[in-house]
A and B are shown apart, each in its own frame.
Chain A
């Protein structure tokens, strides 16, 4: 009898942690085949990429806590990125009348306003018209992409990639925070850390954060207990939009250029990271630390596969399967509790 119970417990443990076990196996395999993977340069690279992807994941996590999702995230990152790149250059082809770059804080505010506005459209449509977030954000994803393409055709740019951003901006984002040996840790790692702390505070210490979890757990009960459900949903999507805009603001400097393809499929990585990190599609469940771990683990596995020279085409299939497995495990945890 005891043997049967312990066997079931082991099976439960393996199935509930299948994703972590696979990631651990891949890391061990890569470390054996490519010892450089555990070198300082590689670890700093993983940390930097984690920091770059963290704001978008933190934003999308809020939407998942509401038992929703946001697939417009990547395109909002892209729009923010191209707007940043076009305004923080001395030779803007999109705005030829601009002879000098705009002040950096002003551009940051502009992209934040754009992100918040698209987030408002998403949140308002979900809250007011009871449309499923998948449908709403699918349409805003397409609309935003159309806007990006039109924007890139503006002035004399003719759809070309945008680069040549001013040095103070590049220095602000990609400048050296500190060095480990000869490897530089970029400034945006610090910013990602600050945004993580801010989001932790919002989620755990504010009324808005508590309302978000209440609405995610049971919107009807939340409404009965006095929570303004519609306002909460709108604010969660707006906050998410702001986080995507910040990701785009980082990305223009981090990549060194911005194209219409910037941000493409970012949402799939962010959603996978959230689900791996325990933010459940059931709603009302999730932790900032989980999101952080999810983004880090996903970055570890993809950097490892890159070290093994696995082609980007295969990575798409792998990413898709990871999302499916993470969702199936999430569903299993829900059914077991039920």
Chain B
């Protein structure tokens, strides 16, 4: 009888372990030496530095223009803090109101606004 209770207890505790296993230490089953891990960290740091170097070398934000039915305006590449070369598209029967950050023409982009990231500008028209 005692044996049976012990077995039952063991079974219950192992069930508890199984049910909670998913939330216990994601590294516990990883078998790797610290030396190998150091090499991996060094490799990853080098990769990060290289990516930073490439990113800085090829810097520049792209400004795309959607003329919304008007004449095409080519994309521009600028650095942080620069201003866009303000080009005006043409569309028959429409008056150009300006460039906006959204299609609904709610956030206009002014000529003197400074660029802080890549973006797409939409032309706003009035029939």
Which residue in chain B gives the minimum CB-CB distance to A281? B26
Of the candidates A15, A218, A256, A318, the one whose C-beta lies within 8 Å of that of B107 is A256
Q: Are A215 and B23 in contact (CB under 8 A)?
A: yes
Q: What 0/1 pattern do residues 153 to 164 of A give for CB contact below 8 A with B? A: 000000011011
Give 1 or 0 for each of A55-70: 1 = CB within 8 Å of chain B CB.
0000000000011100
A218 near B55: Cβ-Cβ < 8 Å: no
Interface check A308, CB cutoff 8 A: yes
A18-B41, A325-B44, A328-B44 given; A308·B80 CB < 8 A: yes
**A-contact bits for B74-104, CB 8 A (1 contact / 0 none):** 0000111100000000000000000000111
Of A34, A66, A160, A306, the contact of B23 (CB 8 Å cutoff): A66
Residue A132 interfacial (CB < 8 Å): yes
In the bound complex, CA of A35 to CA of B106 (Å): 33
* Contacting pair B37 A321 (CB below 8 A): no
Type the 1/0 row for A275-316, where 1 means its CB is closer than 8 Å to any CB of B: 000000111000000000000000000000111111110110
A131 interface residue (CB < 8 Å to B)? yes
Given contacts A318-B55, A325-B48, A335-B34, contact A130 B41 (CB under 8 A): no
Is B17 located at the chain interface by the 8 A CB criterion?
A: yes
Chain A residues lying within 8 Å of B117, measured Cβ to Cβ, are: 306, 312
Is B47 at the interface (CB under 8 A from chain A)?
Answer: yes
Contact check: which of A22, A133, A164, A315 meets B48 at CB < 8 Å? A22
Chain A proximity of B35: nearest CB distance (Å): 10
- A331 x B30 contact (CB < 8 A): yes
**Residues of chain B contacted by A282 (CB below 8 angstroms):** 25-27
User: Which residues on B sit within 8 Å (CB–CB) of A36?
Assistant: 81
Q: Which residues of A contact B81 (CB under 8 A)?
A: 36
The answer to whether residues A332 and B51 also contact, given A132-B22, A164-B106 and a CB cut-off of 8 A, is no
CB distance from B47 to the nearest CB of A (A): 6
Contacts A281-B27, A318-B48, A328-B40 aside, 7 further interface pairs with beta carbons under 8 A come to A66-B23, A219-B23, A306-B116, A325-B41, A325-B48, A331-B27, A332-B41
List A residues at the B interface (Cβ < 8 Å): 11, 15, 18, 22, 26, 34, 36, 66-68, 126, 130-133, 160-161, 163-164, 215-216, 218-220, 223, 229, 233, 256-257, 281-283, 305-312, 314-315, 317-318, 321-322, 324-325, 328-329, 331-332, 334-336
